[in-house]
Structure formats: structure tokens, C-alpha cells
Structure 1
């Protein structure tokens, strides 16, 4: 697996594979509100153990798949996006056209769980990207000296099953595996490709990818924070952000994209036939009444209009360019949570999902990812919940953009900059144990809002953190005096975050991460 972070100049490409779960639709809608700043290369329908089309030739019936002819969720989200794309471009001209997004949509391996024999349009799209990645030398540049796309990192996200990616990897291995330089080509794929997933929703990671592609980085980003049981882990102060009132005001009422977003009691269903686990669209019924109707009530019923789930959002929020740079290294932590090496799987980093999906075993090891709050407590999944309010405010603001035709009538995120005393970049600095470092941040806001700056240490972040937090004196005006712990050892690193939140409505937050690399005191 990768031994060091990606260079922060190599902005990643992204392919999303997704099954027709309601939380995938909701995550897709949020993703499209960030389409201006994420380099989407593919949007691929995938099967999983929970959703597949079936294969009549083999006597396999469909399982929790939409009715024949139904508009599937990627297309449904793009349909809503198409109605507001011009308004979104008022706020960021980089938003792509709906036509471009439609050109990225493919059907992947969906017939049944773990099916990877068939070459599909979705697997072909991914195989083309992997092949180009393998055949492009490191540092290859094009006109003007820009790094070629195929030399940049490629994040392939499995919001459902992984079989479409597995088929693509097999295709590339079959086509290029006989070449004398295959070891070099394969290593380029391993160096540049990251698989992220919400759990293992089919068998192909275990049966094919791990044994045949050892070294392929897998980021397991599943959290309860974005799932159906988010209310079990959210901070008490943030529970309002999943309630019906907040959701209606900031999401459901915000134009076509908000109207397409799934909420409790909305009368909609996922599959063509009765699905005993899909009672989220039902309204006005108690859990007992739902059970009498044949439903398996595995998640507590919420008030109509409330948040249901966005289970796959942590796959792509790590890629949002908010200043945290968490895509560069899974251990950095950020809007996609923080991952650490899995105790049993050498190429996997995990967010440590502490709950079971149906049919998956409960991990028997203690929590691996523990972030501490300022008061020293360790709330459950704080590595993810600490960002929840900022992310919900971000979504609310972007949905507001979609229905606000004048730039000046909406709020936009601030920009936060940290400068080195010599005028260069201050984001990575070498320090010695006991050294006192002064850090200065400035912020600008496109709407002229005041930006509140706050410095804080993230002692758990990074592949080799210093266990002792630094002392920080923050003057509240962007200046921080950081004392490196005397106990710090060479090779360790200390992550310090400056957070800038504007005074607009809703308030929006951006960051910069300063990494203090500890070197020998001599």
C-alpha cells in the first residue's frame, strides 16, 4: 500500500459506482451540488448483495431493484440538476452541464451479487481509465507542462457492490498481463488508484481484488453518522439537523434537487415489489402497525419529512477541496471521516464501522478510530460527527444556490490562507521538540462577511502522530503560537487546523491544515 501521501498538486479523478438504495440517491444529489469541484469521470450503476436486477437465463429473480422502465436514481438526480444547472453556474461557473453528466452514466455489473464475468459498459469505462493509467509514465505532461490526467490519482468509489471494478481490473489484467513490462504497468495502477467503499457489499473484494491486486489501497469509509442510525451517534447539539423542520426548510423545499431528496414518510419506494425492509416512505403508522403489514422494522420510525440516510456521502466528502486535504492520506481525517489501518487486512484503512449491515458480522475488536473533543471526551464517531454541522450548512447553501438567480443573494464559502514567514507555503513545516512556532492565517469572503478564525490541534491525525497534543495560544484574529511537545520524536507529525467560518446564512466553513514534521533536535 502507498507509503506516503499523494502530492497535493495531483487533484484526483473520481468514478462513482452505486446501487439503487435510497441513501445512494440522497448522496448522489449532494454530490451533484459539488460537481463544480470534483473531477467526475464516471457515474456507474452497480449491483450489490442488497440490490440486483436478476438473470432469468440462470433462474435468478430480481432483488430489491426498481420496476422495469423506472427512472433510476443517477438519472433522476441529473434530471433535477438539469432544471437548475444555469442557476448553479451563477454561483460557480465550473458546474458542468447536465448533458456532460449524462455522458458519464453507464450500466455496470448488476445481474446478481458479485457477478464479474460479463464485460459491461460500466466496467469498460473503468477499464479504459485503468488501462490509460497503467500505460502513462510517472510525471508525464502534455501541452503547457500540465500533468496528464492518467498520471493523476483515480478514486473509484463503491457505494454498492465492487464487482464492476473487479471486472474492470480483470479486463486490464487479461489485456496487459502478458507484456514483459506488466509488473511496471500494474504498479502504476497500485500507486494511483484508491478504492473507497461503504462496507463490502459483494464478495469480489475478498475473492478477486485482494488476492490478485495486493497493494491496492482500500478506504473503508462506512460510518453510522451518515447511515440510517445517525441519531445514535450525532452530537446532541446537532440532532436538529436531521429533524423534519430543518430538513424541510433547508433541503426539501429547495427546488428540484431538494424535492428529489428522500425523506421519511414521502410515499416513495425503492423496489418494484414489496420490500419488507423499505418502510421509509410510509407515513402515519406506528412500528406495530408496520410489523402487522409485514415490514421488518430495523430502524426506528421518524417524523415525516425527517432525514433518512446518506450512507455513501463519506465516500466523496473526503475529496471536497475545503483545505483539509484529507484525500491525500486516509489518516489525515476530514469531511469523509478518518481512517486507520485495518487490524487484519494489510491494504485496507477503516473508519471502523461499529454496527452491522444485514448479513455482516459485528467486528470483535475495540473501536479503532477515536477522536477526542476539546474537553477530553471521546464521543462515538467524533472523527465524523465533528464535521456534521459544517457539512449540513454547506449542503443547505448549495441547494439555496440552485434557486437563487443572483449571486449577491446567497452565501458562499470563505477562503483561508496560511503563510510561511518567508512568504512561501506554510502548510508543511519542519519543527524540533520544544520549539515554539508562530502561525498566521488570513481569510477573505466573496460576500464581504466577517470570517471567524479558530486554531485547534488534531493530535490523532496522520500516519505517525505525536501522542502529546501541542499547546496553542490563539489570539482569535488568525495568529497562533504553537509549542511543540518536548516529548515529540523525529518522524512524528503534528497536525494543526485553522478553521474559518463566515457570518453569512447559513454560515460556511473552510480550513487549512498545517503539518509540523518533527525532526532531530540537533
Structure 2
């Protein structure tokens, strides 16, 4: 028992500390640092872009949205205007005050209108080069250039040529060091590959963090769920169209960076609401079938989905489905008491959303506590501590005592030295719909 008590102190001391409060405007709310996101979307090619945009808008308080860009892709090779996007943003404006009554951080509709711009109007690398700048590509450059240390995630719901144009211009107009600085702050999350620009980027800028998600089907909610909880809810619900092919194929892009305590987006192998990706880049992750010429850029390397595929998303299904439903409830009432709100998970006194890491000796016991975890509605809470085996480098059984209590003990196996063990705290309230909060603790066995 003495050894356990001493290790609790050691483990607590070895947690990676949260950063100092950021400068105003950085997005650091004290609970988490918001990810900076620019969504490029081939609206009109498939109703799923509109569906994903509705979900993005009702969780807009969790992100610093810096761009909503209408772009092209292999299923929509020309774009003429942003009217479809404008309608979605206008619907957000109708429910903005309701959303703001339930959580801080929802942007004003005027901000969203200001960042709703056109990207490349033409298709693929044919619309990249000298004289091809667009409001969208210029917006990407301006965002990355801001005096803000956080990376900018460009989410390609269609093709990647608006991002490619931004990179092309920076390479053409700046020094090699300036280009490297620019690329160091940029991240690209590419859904399925929908033009040849992604392969061009990956081939020419191999150090850029570039994810191509190809396992974006199989996690989605049912049509019945959508009818009951989403489409029936006010102006934004009315903007959520019926499925034509697959529902919300683009949503994993922003779910990857959703700041809910599950993962660090830069650690692509950790796994979160947007899936899990191999830490080693792969060659030849091809785009959708209409894109025929990516072989011209071989070899190009990207982070791709792990063997779990969409199962890495679906493991969190109750949480993200209920999150969406609750937020749609928020959109139709300004009465805080009329809807459910998320619990706030605390681990060993840390209330931030960041992934926590600690060092512990093999054969020792690590004490973890969720003391201080609370619920803004006063709901009762339940807890589950579990090992997330897939991203852990230690793959054998790891005993957890009191795994269903607010405090648990993790026994680090004797043969775990040099390995990592990923522990997930899942906290659930008993509201309707039941809402979840997470924390990840990575134990690095010594």
C-alpha cells in the first residue's frame, strides 16, 4: 500500500502539464484550446456536404472556424457561387441565439458570413498555378500567417486544389525557410481523395501532415435517428437533406480534431471520433475512381486509415450521436433547463481536454481519479476506465481495479517496460440524451 501511495504522487507529478494561458484570441478557453479549422466543400455534388455542414455548425463553439470555402471535386468539377453555403449559414443565424444560451463560444453569424468564400472554381491541378489565386486560397494563407501558434487544419470535403493553390503561391513567392514555416503550421485532412491535387501536395511536400481518410462509411446514424433527432429540429434541421448515397461522409474530418478529451489530432495513431490513422505514411492511397492520373505523382505518401477502418469511429457512436441530438435540441430553445449539457471530466485534478501522459515503473500501480468531475445540469454520473488497446504499444491484458468507479487503479504489467498503455476515462450523465465526456491518459512504462 505504501508503494501505491508513493506512486500516486509520482504519477501525478509526471503528468504533462497544461500550457500557460494563451494570449487573447488564441482560442484557449481554460478548458481546452480550440482547433483552427477551414472547411473546403464541394457543396452540390452530394447531399452529404450539407449534412456535415449542419453538424459542424451546431458544434461550432468547439472550433475556431476560420474558413467555409466552396470548392470543387471529381463529382463537382465546376463551382459558380456560394449560394448553397449562404443558405446554411443563414439558417445558423436563425438559431444562433438559442445555441449561445447553452454554451459559450458560438460564433456570430456575421463572422461565418465573412469567412464564407469561393475557392478554386475549376477542377484539380488544372486550376492551380500562376494567376489562379482564389478568395479561398488567400484565406488559407492569411490564416496560417496569423500570429497564432496553433496549427490550421484544412479539411478537404471535396478536392484539395484550394489548399494546393495556397501552397503553390507560398512556394512561388517566399524563401525556402518561409515555406517550411508555413507548412509547419498547416495540416490537411482529405476525405477520400477527390482530385489530383492531394497527390501533388503529398509528393512535393512530404513533411506536411497529410491524412487521407478512405474509411468514412459504416459509422453513420440511421435514417430513423436523423428523422427524429435532427431533421425535425428547427431551421438547421430543415437544412439537413435526406441521404442520397451515404450520410455525412465528410464529418470525420472535423471530428478528428473535435476537442473532447479523446485524442491529440497531431498524433494521428491515437484514434478519436474521426478515426485512427497509421503513424507511418503509406504510398499509393488512391483517390475516388474518377481521378485517373495520380500515378503521375508516384510515389506520394499520406497517413491512411488503420486496419480497424470505420470501426475506429463507430466505437464512439453513442457519444457522437447523442452529442449531435443534444445540440439540435439546443438549436430550438433558449431555455437552458430544457436541454441536456455535457459533463466535464477531470483526471487527477486536471480539467483540461488535453491528453495526459505519465511515467510509471513496470510492476507498479497507478492511481487515477475523476474527483472533481461534474455536470452542469446536476445529473448523476457514471464512469468507465478502459484500456484502448489498438494505439497502445503494450498489447497484453492490463488489469484495472474499480473500473466502474470514479477512481481506479491500473496495474502496470512487469513486462511493459518501454511500452505505452492508453487509458480512456468515459464519463456519462443520465440526462436525455445521455452525454459523454472523455479523458485519455497514456502511461509510459519504465
Name the stretch that deviates more: 324-333 or 76-85.
324-333
Question: Quick one: distance in 2 between partners of 1:340 and 1:312?
Answer: 19
Determine helix, strand or coil for the equivalent of 2:164.
Answer: helix
Aligned pairs for 1:223-302 within 5 A: 223-225=215-217, 230=218, 241-244=221-224, 246-264=225-243, 280=244
Match of 2:411 in 1: 483
For residues 364-419 of structure 1, what are the alpha-carbon distances to aligned partners after superposition, in whole Å with 9 as ceiling and x for unaligned? xxx96245xxxxxxxx6321111122111100000000001200110000001001
Question: Quick one: distance in 2 between partners of 1:219 and 1:475?
Answer: 34
Deviating beyond 6 angstroms after TM superposition, the runs of 4 or more aligned structure 1 residues are none
Determine helix, strand or coil for the equivalent of 1:83.
Answer: helix
Change (3 A) 1:454 1:70: closer
Question: Quick one: distance in 1 between partners of 2:369 and 2:155?
Answer: 36
For residues 63-121 of structure 1, what are the alpha-carbon distances to aligned partners after superposition, in whole Å with 9 as ceiling and x for unaligned? xx6xx77832x222111101110111110132111111010011111222332131111
Quick check: 1:86 aligned with 2:86?
Answer: no
Determine helix, strand or coil for the equivalent of 1:319.
Answer: coil
Change (3 A) 1:41 1:341: same
Number of residue equivalences? 398
Match of 2:6 in 1: none
Change (3 A) 1:368 1:95: closer
Aligned pairs for 1:130-145 within 5 A: 130=144, 132=145
Aligned pairs for 1:92-241 within 5 A: 92-114=103-125, 115-117=127-129, 118-130=132-144, 132=145, 148-149=147-148, 151-177=149-175, 182-183=176-177, 185-207=178-200, 209-225=201-217, 230=218, 241=221
Question: Quick one: distance in 2 between partners of 1:91 and 1:469?
Answer: 41
TM-score where L is the length of structure 2: 0.83
TM-score where L is the length of structure 1: 0.71
Change (3 A) 1:391 1:505: same
Match of 1:335 in 2: 273
Native 8 Å contact 1:468 1:487 kept in 2: no
Quick check: 1:316 aligned with 2:308?
Answer: no
Question: Quick one: distance in 2 between partners of 1:412 and 1:314?
Answer: 22
Match of 1:449 in 2: 379
Question: Quick one: distance in 2 between partners of 1:164 and 1:170?
Answer: 10
- Higher relative CO (CA 8 A, sep ≥ 6), structure 1 or 2? 2
Quick check: 1:439 aligned with 2:342?
Answer: no
Match of 2:66 in 1: 41
Question: Which entry has the higher C-alpha Rg, 1 or 2?
Answer: 1
Match of 2:83 in 1: 71
CA shift, 1:343, in A, is 5.9
Change (3 A) 1:466 1:191: farther
Quick check: 1:415 aligned with 2:340?
Answer: no
Match of 2:56 in 1: 31
Question: Quick one: distance in 2 between partners of 1:165 and 1:487?
Answer: 46
Q: Mark the runs of 5 or more structure 2 residues left unpaired by the alignment.
A: 1-15, 20-32, 293-303
CA shift, 1:12, in A, is 3.0
